[in-house]
């Protein structure tokens, strides 16, 4: 896979998500076979996903050297974050260095596929809308 293929894959996943209001992505090629991808995705409820990936493209694989996916509510409070930062507090986790932050809690978690990450966020938004609708009854 090459950067153009990867970028198109990301953009296709974003384009079919009904909860995404807008997006701003940056693709920086790092020759010969790597890229830094970053961006912000804005959702219909005012929440945002900030993400960054430093990837190396191999003929049969994509290697994620660094990644961070931070999902924040409309007030910019962290809902969750996946990353592979060398966080000393995450050292005891079986997925180290990969992990997930939920509020002040670290949990074991592998890097999610981008489509799964957007699905997780979509479920959060859908559940929130459903709860709001029920409370208005």
Secondary structure, 3-state, 20-78: EEEEEEEEEEECCCEEEEEEEEEECCCCEEEEEEEEEEECCEEEEEEEEEEEECCCCCE
Sorted by where each begins, the domain ranges of the chain are 3-135
Name the nearest CA neighbour of 126 among 15, 44, 42, 21. Answer: 44
Q: What is the pTM of this model?
A: 0.91
Q: pLDDT category, 129, cuts 50, 70, 90?
A: confident
Name the nearest CA neighbour of 117 among 45, 24, 14, 29. Answer: 14
Q: pLDDT category, 3, cuts 50, 70, 90?
A: confident
pLDDT digits (tens, 9 = 90+) for 30-44: 989 999 999 999 999
User: What mean pLDDT is predicted for residues 66-88?
Assistant: 97
pLDDT digits (tens, 9 = 90+) for 94-125: 999 999 999 889 999 999 999 999 999 999 99
Q: What is the mean pLDDT of the chain?
A: 93
Q: pLDDT category, 1, cuts 50, 70, 90?
A: low
Across the beta sheet with 61-72, the strand order is 20-30, 34-43, 48-58, 61-72, 78-83, 99-102, 105-108
């Amino acid at each position: 896979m090459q950067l153009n293929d990867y970028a198109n894959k990301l953009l296709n996943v974003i384009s079919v998500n009904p909860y995404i209001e807008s997006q701003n992505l940056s693709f920086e090629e790092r020759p010969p076979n790597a890229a830094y991808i970053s961006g912000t995705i804005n959702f219909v409820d005012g929440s945002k996903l900030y993400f960054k990936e430093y990837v190396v493209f191999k003929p049969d694989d994509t290697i994620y050297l660094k990644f961070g996916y931070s999902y924040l509510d409309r007030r910019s409070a962290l809902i969750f974050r996946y990353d592979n930062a060398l966080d000393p507090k995450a050292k005891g986790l079986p997925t180290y260095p990969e992990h997930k932050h939920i509020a002040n809690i670290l949990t074991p978690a592998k890097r999610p596929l981008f489509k799964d990450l957007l699905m997780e966020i979509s479920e959060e938004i859908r559940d929130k809308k459903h709860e709001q609708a029920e409370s208005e009854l």
